[in-house]
Structure 1
Amino acid sequence: MAFNVSRVREQFPILKREVNGQPLVYLDNAATSQKPQAVIDSLVDYYSRYNANIHRGVHTLSQEATDAYEAAREKIRAHFNIEHSREVIFTSGTTHGINLVANGFSSLLQPGDEVLVSAMEHHSNIVPWQMLCERTGAILRVIPMNREGSLIMKDYEELLNEKTRLVFVNHISNALGTINPIEEIILKAHQHGAAVLVDGAQACSHVVADLQELGVDFYVTSAHKMCGPTGVGMLYGKESWLEKLPPYQGGGEMIAEVTFEKTTYADLPHKFEAGTPNIAGGIGFGAAIDYLNEIGFDAIREQEESLRDYATEQLLAIDGMVIYGEGTAKTSVISFNIDGIHPYDIGTLLDKMGIAVRTGHHCAQPIMDFYQIPGTVRASFAFYNTLEEVDRLVAAVKKAKMMLS
């Protein structure tokens, strides 16, 4: 079936609302995507028909909830081409997954070991590793970027050495939209015996990451970036690594046997899933994956690329416009400023005109420091956005510029 954006938009209730007397133009998809009715219905269905705790009950509701939750795990496994469902750990989101891995490596690193992060990481893929280095005496090194917003791969290769233990990089930059060459990054890290964690939060709504083909050691993402609920995400880890890492939290569900003398831990994935999980969120995550695959990622890519290219052309025609992140591999994010105008002021005026964008440093302050700017205006497009909405954005930016100049 041909992609029909009008039909798609009908499936998103929030897109029908108005903001400040104007039809909503939602261009903050890099922060969180909107939810189709199918995902909303999956949450309502769980709470309305079979709300119960999972894995522990013999009664019908518990069994139904367990089956639905584990079916969602299987959908995630299949979508990312993960070999075993036990390698899929449910988390509260990308940040949780990163911290889980960082905590685990506290017992595996030695003083003088080196870990690499890229210069374009979200704070959630910087701070946990800084904390890890403080605990272990490991050394944090940074893969630099250039003015185009791309990683300098020659410098990355020179940073790798026999002391490198871990490499952390995002699949796609949330602040710039840059698609990083993670295949090459993983390959070169493995040549030096280093493990790799990829932050896939910004990628998974745009591309399908084949994790077996990539050979990555850890991959993390959040459901809310890909039309799913907030408060739930996924950590993939190779089974060999997950077996090495100690549990992140203790409590119910993650145990095999508990006595006051000694506790033994459950098998994967439950070893890392202490306590009652976000059951509805996990089921909704599965529903979101079903929905996106029904739309089709080829159709999603084509729609978003057309929006990105058209918006880039139109915005660059505005005097004083500066767009950050001009690499050849880029997703549907445009991060920009207008000379002499603070991004916050532009974002505030756009909101008055019903247009939702993000302003600030986007939890990526090192990128803003690199460009020596306080922040940017970020317009991030999803497959349910339209060319007409781009026109409204451009007209609103022009009006804001006139009012603020």
Structure 2
Amino acid sequence: MSTATEALAYNVEKTRKDFPILKREINGYPLVYFDNAATSQTPQQVIDVIVDYYSNYNANIHRGVHALSQEATDKYEQARKKIQEHFNAKKTHEIIFTSGTTHGINLVANGFASLLHKGDEIIVSALEHHSNIVPWQILAEKTGAVLKVIPMNQEGELIYPAFEELLSEKTKLVFVNHVSNALGTVNPIKKIIDKAHQYDAAVLVDGAQAAPHIKADVQALDVDFYVVSAHKMCGPTGVGMLYGKEEWLTKLPPYQGGGEMIATVTFEKTTYADLPHKFEAGTPNICGGIAFGAALDYINTIGIEKIAAYEEELLHYATKKLLEIDGMEIYGVSKEKTAVISFNINGMHPYDIGTILDKLGIAVRTGHHCAQPIMDFYKIPGTVRASFSFYNTKEEIDVFIKAVVKAKTMLT
């Protein structure tokens, strides 16, 4: 089915009925929620799963012989299986539950602290969220490794030839996001992974912004680590996933010590549990994990291809309308991008525009979006970011455009 046909086959009004929050009013106006890159909204189907857990089988998992514990354990491990199948991991134990993308990145960074040596090189891209920059800076300081940066161009794309030049026999790790949270740029991660592997470097991909729009196949990508957050894909906050190849997860030491991640404990010596429990110390976010699985069920029922096609239609529609406004500057005009538009209007601070939009019931994000190096590259303090999801409509975009024009008039 073509992209255009996918979009036509999608019924957004039917989908909107699944999201209770979309019935809200803000300051007397119907809510227009365009902050989906920060967090997506949650459908009733996922909310019902959360309520059902706490109403009917709330219990700790893996340790109990009683019925509630066994039921919660089964549901939790079923969710892990759903995640494995969605991302096409080879084995279920290659899926580690985390508190989110940031947790997953820090887990890997902590593990490599014992594997890197002074003079080793690690590479990060200029398009990263702070959570995929700061842990590696800390790692470099701890180990004496050298951190190098893949530069970007004015279109908001990575300069691939420069990446090739950065690679060497000293390169041990490469970190890149699948999609830029600030600009929506889709990076050529397969190309980057394949090239890095020629130098025996491991690759971690931050998939937080890609997961709502792109169904990543971790085996086809041959990626070593892939991290996501449930709250970007209609799930709850405080839960996420780290995929790691079995050989890497076996090699890395545990991130935290405590219950669940042990096999035996004596005061003389502790032995660690097998994967995935080696990296899942303590009582996890059981309800969150189960709801993450339910969110994937919801998305897959609609179909990620339909979602992507419809969101691309929204992106093109909104981009065209915004560019009709005098003084409009859009940052990130990559040929491959998701439904994110970062913009400024000449002479106006993004915070002021965002504040006026909020008064009109429209939720957007303003600031540097935890991607300050990108803003420094463009020599701007930040942007207004409108990010769309499959429950948004062209009618909402029309309301948004009128509000932007109004904000511009008020600030002129």
Band of TM-score, shorter chain: over 0.9
Superposed displacement of residue 302, structure 1: 1.3
Secondary structure (helix, strand or coil) at the match of 1:31 reads coil
Tell me if 1:330 matches 2:363.
Answer: no
User: 1:137-148 counterparts in 2 under 5 A?
Assistant: 137-148=144-155
CA distance in 2, matches of 1:207, 1:292: 11
Please name the residue that 1:205 is paired with.
212
Instruction: For 1:140, give the aligned amino acid.
Output: L
Please name the residue that 2:267 is paired with.
260
| Deviation sequence 1:64-104 (CA, Å, 0-9, x none) | 00000000000000000000000000000000000000000
User: 1:5-404 counterparts in 2 under 5 A?
Assistant: 5-404=12-411
CA distance in 2, matches of 1:327, 1:94: 24
Superposed displacement of residue 298, structure 1: 1.3
Instruction: For 1:228, give the aligned amino acid.
Output: G
CA distance in 2, matches of 1:73, 1:186: 25
Secondary structure (helix, strand or coil) at the match of 1:219 reads strand
CA distance in 2, matches of 1:187, 1:221: 21
CA distance in 2, matches of 1:100, 1:375: 30
CA distance in 2, matches of 1:181, 1:375: 25
Instruction: For 2:89, give the aligned amino acid.
Output: I
Instruction: For 1:17, give the aligned amino acid.
Output: R
Instruction: For 1:178, give the aligned amino acid.
Output: T
Unaligned runs of 5+ in 2: 1-5
Secondary structure (helix, strand or coil) at the match of 2:267 reads coil
CA distance in 1, matches of 2:90, 2:163: 29
| Deviation sequence 1:182-230 (CA, Å, 0-9, x none) | 0000000000110000000000000100000000000000000000000
Instruction: For 2:377, give the aligned amino acid.
Output: F
Q: TM-score under structure 1 normalisation?
A: 1.00
Secondary structure (helix, strand or coil) at the match of 2:113 reads helix
CA distance in 1, matches of 2:27, 2:254: 48
| Deviation sequence 1:37-64 (CA, Å, 0-9, x none) | 0110010000000000000000000000
Instruction: For 1:365, give the aligned amino acid.
Output: Q
Superposed displacement of residue 397, structure 1: 0.3
Instruction: For 1:266, give the aligned amino acid.
Output: A
Secondary structure (helix, strand or coil) at the match of 2:184 reads coil
Superposed displacement of residue 3, structure 1: 1.6
Superposed displacement of residue 141, structure 1: 0.2
Secondary structure (helix, strand or coil) at the match of 2:135 reads helix
CA distance in 2, matches of 1:167, 1:305: 29
Please name the residue that 2:3 is paired with.
none
Secondary structure (helix, strand or coil) at the match of 2:297 reads helix
CA distance in 2, matches of 1:344, 1:26: 17
Instruction: For 1:138, give the aligned amino acid.
Output: A
Unaligned runs of 5+ in 1: none
Alignment length, in residue pairs? 405
Superposed displacement of residue 171, structure 1: 0.2
Q: TM-score under structure 2 normalisation?
A: 0.98
- Runs of 4 or more, structure 1, over 6 Å off, are none
Secondary structure (helix, strand or coil) at the match of 1:86 reads helix
